[in-house]
Structure 1
């Protein structure tokens, strides 16, 4: 029995002559034959190859059927697979069960399956490159009234990034089987981690237990009034992830993060040096204010030096470009993800990001809405959590109860709608310290008692959580080194 000859892969074009579409049907046949002959070969081909990467349409459906059978723990062989394609015109056109039998008869050794899989995958990427190149060229030549040249470049970069990361420009619909497999994989990874976290740890145990860590593709908002410590909290979370970063190599040569992560911090308000100084203060335990003023002794300088040596290799990347546009922010994040890796993106803070371009919105609410939608889209595209800080409006100060609410967010509608989680920082000591009575009076003694009770405490109020409950988490806060920490609990720390 002979294998069906390879298809003619040279499309006809009236405008330009394309040599031929990069494809190798024989390689596809060899790979499918090896998988049908020895299902164990499927485990050797890696996870990047998917049905859409095959050129022959029936081969796409056949690979997906083989994959489904194997993932379910069922045997994938010609007779069982043929039942699934009983009414498939493409299957009958190629020869039906006889075609599958021919694939198995001519199957190469299973050890060669990874080589054929790489060839099929590489050719699929080349076909997409040709298509993207044609679309970019056609769009640039024809122009688009809704997109200026810079926006076209951003769109092209987004398509190329998606192709490099996922092997496809747009996946479109995802079958429930595939989505279910991803969900089970995520649950299994959470179960295998210490503490059962499904997402990236914040380094704050009580907060992690409430939210389950920071989840990929989520937009998380941390909001507060000025001087409450939102930049400090974001820096604490990001730096804890970077310090604990660990990875393991994958069969395709890539790195899989198993703990912590690579962090990108867009600091639009503070300079990179100021942010690094905060990190030094946190790790060394030396007051940041005294560090800036140089009021430290030799032993403290030694602690600072040791801290610098300890943290200098942490994968914590800072971009302190002021007034950065959303397009530039996304482009730099994609580039970092592609070249180094990226597990967490932090933006300090939301209202300092701009839209840019000629189509800038006059309405600030609409502009912030476009920014939050863009950050949410970027989180999904890069499959990482995006942590964005936001300012609260002054109406908080006019209330007797200063605890923030969702309605206190500036341009609150869009932020509240697009965010997967909204957290507020509240420190009662901040407001109480501004109400100090005359020293020596009876009121001052009462005030001092209240200050002693709330000093060093902070509350994280979870006002919205798409995947879990809302509520309040209490943390410690050290003003000298601007560090949030875990509160002592019975049994949490070894008394020794």
Structure 2
């Protein structure tokens, strides 16, 4: 195979060491396919031609795949028509080499094992190439390329190698799918509140949604001032606070009532986000905390609350202008290092896609972001809560309650989301519509304002696996706190006669 060897990738030898490979395994697999084309279907879902080390074997596998996928027979006779006839393979002509592959073939039963061995060796070669690229990039780094970007690029490439080399399970029986569905229903039945997903800490909202479902993309949308960031922060904190780490040595999986949360805050700093949380928990106005307009007792309360909640697994990344690739890389890293059960992104319009560098089309860019977020939710099997702005057309109509068409760049967001929640507070708009004093309109307005005071509507505009509708929550703006309406405004107690 001297001539064929000369055509190998120049990266096949590095620093005097030959790249990992197994020519015999490649020959055995190709021979097995030539003898019995059924062997191809046993490896075709995970093995590609570029996994082969020998270039000639890549070409043979490509031709065989093309023939078999068009319902033709792949044999030494049919293959030689599509390959260079003048090849000299270690003194053998191409027809002779194909005949030897078929003659020395192993059984079809070993095809999967050989295929996986070839795939594993290809992954090791790719790891070597990545390591070499990382080294060269570090030596020859451009001035405008910070090391952090190189780290993230390396993480992305390593993860792609792991994913593309994963052996998929392929089809599963309907019985297996039914078992999973029944297991999920049993978990919801046994859980407090009958939830199948991650509890938000807001019982009325959970009752409508069944909690935050794994692999779902949940959009929280609203106009500025409605409280969408406050709602997302409350949910993230509630989930993190309820988390209980598995006990060491325990073989059983604990029932999940909380989880580890990754919060990507593209708008606010981590300090601002923490101020919102501590204000909500201590019931001290966040504006008073920022100005230092608090009493000694208030400060003691802040320190006390800090001690109580400082260990919750809520991780904040406040880097601005992240791309969907960077969000994915950082989420994967957190899941690998500490675990991950919920991702929050505040907000979509502040993220960047990769397409903005080549085509400044914002709609296309947002489509890339929402498709990427949905794919990440499925990949990590966690719910992703992503915030989104609404277009200004809401302000130009009399009925201010938002609709799906109000989503900015709405096409992709509406299509890719599993759940769309709108945050609406009538009180916000009524405050700016005060009629003149002493008029009948003023009396009606005052009554309407009082009825809406401290209340927020969470409008479920879309829910792929559940009903739509509206949930009324209590909202305390000074504390940026959402809570269940019944808990915030309990009915008066009337003793029995």
TM over 0.5: yes
| Cα distance, 1:450–1:357 mapped onto 2, change above 3 Å | closer
* Partner of residue 200, structure 2: 202
For 1:223, the equivalent position in structure 2 comes to 221
Secondary structure at the counterpart of residue 386 of structure 2: strand
Q: 1:61 maps to what in 2?
A: none
The Cα offsets for residues 378-430 of structure 1, whole Å up to 9 and x where unpaired, read as 00000000000000001111111100000000111100000001110111000
Deviation digits for residues 247-301 of structure 1 (CA, Å, limit 9, x no counterpart): 3258798976622000011000111000000000011011111111111111111
C-alpha distance in structure 1 between counterparts of 2:125 and 2:252, whole Å? 29
Match of 1:332?
330
2:355–2:365 Cα contact (<8 Å) kept: no
Query: How far, CA to CA, are the matches of 1:450 and 1:361 in structure 2?
Result: 48
Cα distance, 1:126–1:457 mapped onto 2, change above 3 Å: farther
Query: 1:493 Cα shift?
Result: 8.9
Q: Does the aligned pair in 1 maintain the 2:21–2:118 contact within 8 Å?
A: no
1:411 matched to 2:409 = yes
Residue 490 of structure 1 and its aligned partner are, at CA, apart by 13
Aligned to 2:39: none
Structure 1 counterpart of 2:436, from 438, 459, 468: 438
Distance 2:212 2:248 in 1: 23
TM-aligned CA deviation for residue 180 of structure 1? 2.9
When Rg is computed on C-alpha atoms for both structures, the one with the higher figure is 2
User: For the residues of structure 1 that align with 2:123 and 2:178, how far apart are their CA atoms?
Assistant: 30
Map of 1:420 onto structure 2: 418
1:300 aligns to 2:301 (yes or no): no
Measured in 1, the distance between the counterparts of 2:125 and 2:154 equals 14
Is the Cα contact below 8 Å between 2:423 and 2:457 reproduced in 1?
Answer: yes
1: CA distance, partners of 2:481 / 2:487: 18
Paired residues in the alignment total 384
Distance of 1:194 and 1:19 partners within structure 2: 54
How far apart in 1 are the matches of 2:422 and 2:380?
25
Deviation at 1:304, TM superposition (A): 1.1
Question: How far apart are the structure 2 equivalents of 1:450 and 1:400?
Answer: 16
Q: What SS does the corresponding residue of 2:327 show, helix, strand or coil? A: helix
* 1:172 to partner: Cα distance: 4.3
**2:365 maps to what in 1?**
367
Structure 2 contact 127–158 (Cα < 8 Å) conserved: no
Contact 1:247 1:255 survives alignment (8 Å): no
Whole-Å Cα distance in 1 between the matches of residues 21 and 412 of structure 2? 49
Displacement of 1:175:
3.9
Check the 8 A contact 1:128/1:168 in 2, yes or no: no
* Backbone CA RMSD of aligned residues: 3.8
Task: Report if the CA contact (8 A) 1:425-1:460 is conserved.
Answer: yes
Q: 1:446 to 1:263 in 2, by over 3 A?
A: same
1:489 shift after superposition: 7.4
Which region of structure 1 is more displaced relative to structure 2, 461-470 or 443-452? 443-452
Query: What is the aligned partner in structure 1 of residue 276 from structure 2?
Result: 278
Q: Which residue, 400, 418, 442 being the options, matches 1:402?
A: 400
Deviation at 1:173, TM superposition (A): 3.7
Normalised to the residue count of structure 2, the TM-score between the two structures is: 0.69
Q: Which 5+ residue runs of structure 2 have no aligned equivalent?
A: 13-17, 26-41, 44-105, 134-149
- Which residue number in structure 1 is paired with residue 210 of structure 2? 212
